[in-house]
Amino acid sequence: MQGREGPSAVPPLCDKFPGMADNITVEIDLDKVLRAMDAMESTAKEGSRAFRTAFRRCANTIKRSVVKSARTVTSNREKANLVKAVAYKSGLGASVNAWQGGYLKSGRFFNLKWLDNGTSDVIGRNGRKHGATPAKPFFWQGVDSAMGAATDQLEGDLMDALIKAYEKR
């Protein structure tokens, strides 16, 4: 990447959300994990399953924290539970997403990004203004509060998943 230097080298995730970084990186001692895999004679399938399990547990820890911080913004628990946590099938990572949205029991679509970023005036079909939603940021507060625990938990969960796969044989 030529022409990019310093802290501004990380481009924003999307033009609509200029403060968001693309990825949050968590570092683990991979040599220790690979040595454990060699000692247990783990197959690639068992290894990727162990990574997927560890990433899923880590992502769910962050998800619980984001849901808890979303509940401080909205009293509707159904809206707060729209946060999704997914571990990639390849076992290479996980994501926590609050921007997808979903349908509530009432059949209406709701997106948590509307609460996090706020909205401008909404004009209905009849030309009537329905008001704006003020920004109440909660997502990054939840991620930051759980990141330390998730980082500490990741390597332990990975080793536990490897041991469980070894004992299962």
Cβ neighbours of residue 148 under 8 Å, at least 6 residues apart? none
Is position 156 within any domain? yes
CB atoms within 10 A of CB 84: 16
pTM of the complete model beyond 0.85: no
Is position 32 within any domain? no
Q: What pLDDT is recorded for position 25?
A: 66
Is position 9 within any domain? no
Q: What pLDDT is recorded for position 8?
A: 38
Is position 74 within any domain? yes
Is position 45 within any domain? yes
Between CA 130 and CA 120 the distance in angstroms is: 10
Q: Domain count for the chain, please give it.
A: 1
Is position 35 within any domain? no
**Each residue's pLDDT expressed in tens, for the chain with a length of 169 residues:** 343 343 434 333 334 444 444 456 666 767 777 787 778 777 777 878 888 888 888 888 888 888 888 888 888 888 888 888 888 887 777 878 877 778 888 888 888 888 888 888 878 788 888 778 888 888 888 888 888 888 888 888 888 888 888 887 7
Q: What pLDDT is recorded for position 24?
A: 65
Q: Backbone phi, then psi, for 136, in 5-degree steps?
A: -130, 80
Where in the sequence is the domain holding 142, given as residue range(s)? 41-168
Is position 88 within any domain? yes
